[in-house]
Amino acid sequence: MNIHLVLKVVVFIAEGLLLLLALAATAHFEIGRLLFTIAVGAVCAFGEIFVIAKIGQRLWKWSGRITSMLARNRNARVEPESANRGEA
């Protein structure tokens, strides 16, 4: 078995037990419940901000595509008119 995999499993188990211990302390003490609630709220707020930023990036990309498509269509309509004026 790979030593890297063994270390990864040990660290994962230690983190899980520490989080379980923190959750038990949080449930027992009032200040712990308050801090846990604040931490969960912060994580949720961070997640919402991340999603809003991703949606904004996608809308920015779509607006660029739509603008370039409209500009191409406008140029296609303008070019034949200028060619006809040159012939007259």
pTM: 0.51
Q: What is the residue range of 22's domain? A: 3-87
| Number of domains composing the chain | 1
The pLDDT, as a whole number, for residue 25 is 82
The per-residue pLDDT for range 27-70, each reduced to its tens digit, is 888 888 888 889 999 999 999 999 999 999 999 999 988 888 88
Contact between 27 and 33 (Cβ < 8 Å):
yes
Tally the residues of the chain: 88
What is the Cα–Cα distance from 41 to 15, expressed in whole angstroms? 21
**Percent helix, strand and coil across the chain, each to the nearest 5:** 95, 0, 5
Q: How many CB atoms lie within 10 A of CB 36?
A: 16
